[in-house]
């Protein structure tokens, strides 16, 4: 009898031990989300001192830099000078982004690799900011699209200063979310940057006030938002590369377009080769001009202190000069 009682007591102790373990496991699972959020704040405040922020492409990087300044550890996914449209991240970089506090991307199909990355993340994730969320987008039609957004929308949202301000505000919200101790610092910087974007918008409005309805021929359909904001008409021409001489078919297409529209310029994204400039002048009577879409700056441009605002002002000088000729 005594041994039977001892057996029952041992069984109850075992049962109680298992029960406690199971209860602890359940509690840990239920509170994981809360702890994860709290840990992110604690990690920012104690472990590193600065939230790690990854931005996909240069415009997002520059906007985050203007708001976060020296209170964030800011990194850019797409390397300086790389073409963002076809770029793909390494496995190592994806791991690093997954460990960050904030990940900012433009969206609208600009970074096709982002959806795959987000689907692969498990456990602790960064606060993800699609900067174009909530912003009115423009559809890309016909020849404008050439492989841009699968949804058919123009991804170059940042080239409109008004929409750029909305993107910056989306970034601000994320920084405040992960680092509340510096919330007022971020908000003050956003107000400063916002004022500069409003000033940039005013410069464009005043400079292009008499250019409403003017057409601009571009080699890449990147300037739809800029054209939409300031009353211009973007005419993209496919098959043109600033570093290669166009073939006979492309030249014939371009010559007809320029003749029909009485236009003597073509806007490229980068400086054209001397050979291309000579060919355009000789064959179709067109001058190559440069409008920078700011999708990616070179390292030299960044070291020289160039940024979104300064390049947008350069673009305005070029637009004003060409459209006034």
Read off the pLDDT of residues 99-117 as tens digits, 9 standing for 90 and up.
Answer: 999 999 999 999 999 999 9
| Alpha-carbon gap, residue 68 to 61, rounded angstroms | 10
Q: Residues 29-85: pLDDT tens digits?
A: 333 444 344 445 444 544 558 999 999 999 999 999 999 999 999 999 999 988 888
* Percent of the chain at pLDDT exceeding 70: 80
pLDDT band (50, 70, 90) for residue 140: confident
Residue 286 has pLDDT above 70, yes or no: yes
Residue from 167, 173, 172 nearest 190 by CA: 172
pLDDT band (50, 70, 90) for residue 239: low
Which residues, including other chains, have CB under 8 Å from residue 217's CB and lie 6 or more apart? 235, 236, 237, 254, 257, 258, 261, 263, 265, 266, 267, 286
Residue 165 has pLDDT above 80, yes or no: yes
Residue from 149, 143, 147 nearest 110 by CA: 149
CA dihedral over 85, 164, 185, 192, signed as positive or negative = positive
The pair of structure tokens assigned to 313 is 């002002």
Which residues, including other chains, have CB under 8 Å from residue 288's CB and lie 6 or more apart? 242, 265, 266, 268, 272, 276, 277, 280
Are 78 and 296 in contact by the 8 Å Cβ rule? The answer is yes
Are 69 and 60 in contact by the 8 Å Cβ rule? The answer is no
pLDDT band (50, 70, 90) for residue 284: confident
DSSP H helices, the chain, are: 2-30, 32-42, 58-68, 91-98, 113-120, 161-178, 183-207, 224-230, 248-261, 274-284, 299-303, 308-324
| Alpha-carbon gap, residue 95 to 321, rounded angstroms | 46
* Residue scoring higher pLDDT (309 or 32): 309
Residue 150 has pLDDT above 60, yes or no: no
Mean pLDDT, the chain, rounded, equals 84
pLDDT for position 194 = 98
Count of beta carbons in the 10 Å neighbourhood of residue 93: 17
Which residues on neighbouring strands pair with residue 236, listed in sequence order?
A: 218
Unique residue bearing structure tokens 């920084």: 175
pLDDT band (50, 70, 90) for residue 123: confident
* Residue scoring higher pLDDT (261 or 20): 261
| Alpha-carbon gap, residue 255 to 294, rounded angstroms | 28
Which residues on neighbouring strands pair with residue 153, listed in sequence order?
A: 139
> In this predicted structure, which of 132-136, 165-169, 208-212 has the lowest mean pLDDT?
208-212
């Amino acid at each position: 009898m005594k041994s039977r009682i001892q057996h029952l007591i041992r069984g109850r102790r075992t049962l109680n031990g298992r029960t406690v373990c199971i209860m602890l496991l359940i509690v840990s699972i239920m509170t994981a989300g809360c702890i994860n959020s709290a840990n992110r704040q604690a990690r920012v405040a104690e472990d590193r001192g600065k939230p790690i922020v990854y931005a996909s492409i240069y415009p997002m990087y520059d906007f985050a830099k203007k708001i976060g300044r020296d209170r964030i550890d800011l990194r850019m996914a797409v390397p300086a000078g790389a073409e963002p449209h076809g770029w793909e991240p390494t496995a190592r970089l994806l791991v690093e982004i997954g460990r960050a506090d904030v990940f900012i991307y433009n969206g609208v199909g600009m970074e096709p690799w982002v959806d795959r990355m987000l689907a692969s993340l498990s456990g602790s994730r960064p606060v993800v900011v699609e900067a174009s969320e909530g912003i009115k987008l423009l559809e890309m039609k016909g020849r404008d699209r050439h492989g841009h957004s699968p949804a058919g929308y123009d991804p170059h949202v940042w080239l409109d200063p008004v929409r750029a301000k909305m993107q910056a505000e989306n970034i601000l919200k994320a920084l405040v979310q992960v680092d509340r101790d510096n919330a007022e610092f971020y908000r003050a910087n956003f107000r400063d940057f916002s004022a500069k974007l409003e000033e940039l918008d005013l410069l464009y409005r005043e400079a292009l006030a008499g250019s409403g309805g003017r057409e601009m021929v571009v080699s890449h359909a990147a300037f739809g938002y800029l054209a939409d904001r300031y009353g211009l008409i973007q005419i993209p021409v496919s098959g043109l590369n600033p570093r290669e001489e166009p073939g006979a078919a492309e030249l014939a297409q371009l010559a007809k377009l320029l003749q029909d529209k009485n236009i003597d310029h073509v806007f490229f994204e980068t400086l054209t080769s001397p050979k291309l400039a000579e060919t355009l002048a000789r064959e179709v009577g067109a001058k190559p001009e440069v409008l920078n879409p700011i999708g990616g700056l070179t390292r030299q441009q960044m070291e020289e202190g160039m940024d979104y605002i300064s390049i947008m002002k350069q673009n305005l000088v070029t637009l004003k000069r060409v459209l006034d000729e």
